[in-house]
Amino acid sequence: MSKTQFFTSLKNEVARIDEAAISKRFEHLIEDFNGDPSPKAIIEGQTISIFNSNDYLGLRHHQALKQAEHDASSKLGTGPGAVRFISGSFAVHRQLEKKLAAFHGRDDAMVFSSAFATNLAVIFSLIKGQNKDSLVSGNTLVISDELNHRSIIDGVRLANLESDAKLIFKHLDANSLSEILSTNSEKFDRVVIITDGVFSMLGEYQDLKALRMVVDKYDDKFKEGVLLIVDDCHGVAAFGKTGRGTEEISGAKADVLVGTLGKGFGADGGYVVADQVVIDYLRESAATYIYSNSISPGTAAAASASLDVINSSEGQKMIQKLANNVVDLKNQLTAKGFKFAASSVHPIQAVLIGDTAKTRDLTKEMYEKGFLVTNINYPVVPKGRDEIRVQLSASHTKEDIAAFVQAFSEIGKKLAII
Ligand SMILES: Cc1ncc(COP(=O)(O)O)c(C=O)c1O
């Protein structure tokens, strides 16, 4: 009887979500890709151009990655077989970590099953302050950007800090951060600041140079200093002249940088890069690394091949092509009369629609015409800021973009958006 009641509560919650039209479980199933140079998905037998993927460089279909994955799996098996410290560490994992550290100009790197798992463990391990069995004891203040990704929020939640030890600075506002630091400098031994590099709703990025100046200014005002953690999942292998992301765009570095291998790198998994001492400490304390499998050897080999491609002249051309695609799409949509929800130079371009029903209709009709985009509605964005999030890839051709703009404009006119 009691379990029946429990399941009824679950059912009611699902019904509430469906009623609010925010369900996530009715996603399209990709059955195949058609294999042309700018691969289109086959969904329910229909050919669909994907304009909402994080595969920013188109690397998930690159032959070198597929071959590397195939070769490693053939030799080493399809799964890691154990967690890293038991018998799940392969040479290919270490090779990938060394390449990631070199890519970001850091001492060392650690690979996790996902960036979500990376954030949970890195953040918890570096901020847990009051636990009696903690490796790090001390009085830590955590300050987060108000629009940080869910994985950061959950990492902070795990640490179960007192409410006055977890504060929020205004989105993208280094002055707001500075004010919080100045009013708290007597109260804490150390500070950990955490932010997304690129924010995925609008494609805006945190100005790390401005943040770095604030961090450096306050570093000696706290007994154990101020640490800056940046999660740049949407920045790495997506923008910056050589694909180094927000650090490259804004010309300043984080103390601890988290990235994903599952977006621009075209593989899967997450990682952190930092000074040797931080990585050594994390290998001893990060629960989702110690007690959970890493990526398979095949995935590690694909990610490793991805880094080689990105570092090559071919990869640099892909990055340039992606940047050109961003400019092309923006120019063409602007010429048609569309407005953007933010000024973004990132492959995430949020087209401002401002009306929930129209945003949903536009997404639906785009799908019927063979294009996948994402509608982002209130309450995820403020009322009147409903948007269509378009994500570009280096694999989009000029023809793909032109066809996209034509379909988008036709529907936009029909719905009286432009
Ligand atoms: C900012 C940010 N952090 C972390 C993640 C999680 O990445 P992963 O899919 O590798 O867990 C995402 C993915 O959406 C993200 O956008």
Strands 166-169 and 198-199: unpaired
Q: Which ligand 1 atom lies nearest to the CA of residue 200?
A: 16
Question: Please, which pLDDT band fits residue 378 given cuts at 50, 70 and 90?
Answer: confident
Residue entry with tokens 């066809």: 403
Task: Give which of 186, 195, 194 is closest to 139, Cα–Cα.
Answer: 186
Percent of the chain at pLDDT exceeding 70:
97
Q: Which ligand 1 atom lies nearest to the CA of residue 199?
A: 1
Domain boundaries, the chain: 21-50+313-414, 63-311
Q: Which ligand 1 atom lies nearest to the CA of residue 234?
A: 16
Report how far apart, in Å, the C-alpha atoms of 237 and of each of 59, 137, 219, 327, 330 are: 10, 36, 30, 18, 20
Q: What is the pTM of this model?
A: 0.96
Instruction: Tell me if residue 70 is catalytic.
Output: no
Which DSSP state fits 221?
A: G
Instruction: Please give the distance, rounded to the nearest whole angstrom, from the Cα atom of residue 123 to the centre of ligand 1.
Output: 14
The pLDDT tens digits for 25-38 are: 999 999 999 987 78
Amino acid at 307: L
Question: Please, which pLDDT band fits residue 137 given cuts at 50, 70 and 90?
Answer: low
Question: Please, which pLDDT band fits residue 131 given cuts at 50, 70 and 90?
Answer: low
Question: Please, which pLDDT band fits residue 12 given cuts at 50, 70 and 90?
Answer: very high
CA angle 99–102–103, rounded 5-degree value: 85
The protein residue whose alpha carbon is closest to atom 8 in ligand 1 is: 115
Q: Which residues line the pocket of ligand 1, CB cutoff 6 A?
A: 114-116, 119, 149, 151, 196, 200, 231, 233-234, 260, 262, 270
Give residue 132's pLDDT.
52
Mean pLDDT over residues 170-187, rounded? 95
The protein residue whose alpha carbon is closest to atom 13 in ligand 1 is: 233
Helix (H) or strand (E) holding 121: helix 115-127
Residue entry with tokens 């706290």: 222
Q: Which ligand 1 atom lies nearest to the CA of residue 117?
A: 11
**C-alpha to C-alpha distance for 250 and 39, rounded to whole angstroms:** 32
- Cα 36 to the chain's mean position, in Å? 27
For the segment(s) 63-311, the CATH number from 3.40.720.10, 3.40.640.10, 3.30.70.1020, 3.20.20.10 is 3.40.640.10
Instruction: Please give the distance, rounded to the nearest whole angstrom, from the Cα atom of residue 3 to the centre of ligand 1.
Output: 34
Q: Which ligand 1 atom lies nearest to the CA of residue 116?
A: 11
Q: List, as one string, the DSSP characters of 169-210.
A: EPTT-HHHHHHHHHHHTTT-SEEEEEEESEETTTTEE--HHH
Query: Which neighbouring-strand residues pair with 145?
Result: 169
Asked if pLDDT for residue 173 goes beyond 60, the answer is yes
Instruction: Please give the distance, rounded to the nearest whole angstrom, from the Cα atom of residue 117 to the centre of ligand 1.
Output: 9
Task: Give which of 170, 159, 273, 174 is closest to 218, Cα–Cα.
Answer: 174
Give residue 129's pLDDT.
54
Give residue 380's pLDDT.
83
Q: Ligand 1: which of 110, 171, 205, 233 to mutate, most ligand atoms within 8 Å of CB?
A: 233
**C-alpha to C-alpha distance for 188 and 225, rounded to whole angstroms:** 10
3-state secondary structure of 259: strand
Q: List, as one string, the DSSP characters of 153-168.
A: HHHHHHTT--GGGEEE
Instruction: Tell me if residue 263 is catalytic.
Output: yes
Give residue 141's pLDDT.
95
Asked if pLDDT for residue 71 goes beyond 70, the answer is yes
Average predicted confidence (pLDDT) for the chain: 95
Give residue 282's pLDDT.
94
CATH topology of domain 21-50+313-414: Aspartate Aminotransferase, domain 1 (3.90.1150)
CA angle 204–207–212, rounded 5-degree value: 150
Inter-residue contact 122 to 231 (CB < 8 Å) = no
Instruction: Tell me if residue 234 is catalytic.
Output: yes
Give residue 134's pLDDT.
59
Give residue 376's pLDDT.
92
Question: Please, which pLDDT band fits residue 235 given cuts at 50, 70 and 90?
Answer: very high
Instruction: Please give the distance, rounded to the nearest whole angstrom, from the Cα atom of residue 222 to the centre of ligand 1.
Output: 31
Q: Ligand 1: which of 151, 199, 261, 272 to mutate, most ligand atoms within 8 Å of CB?
A: 151
**Which positions ≥6 away from 129 have C-beta within 8 Å?**
136, 137, 138, 139, 140, 159, 161, 165
Full strand arrangement of the beta sheet holding 371-372? 32-33, 41-43, 46-50, 371-372
Instruction: Please give the distance, rounded to the nearest whole angstrom, from the Cα atom of residue 201 to the centre of ligand 1.
Output: 12
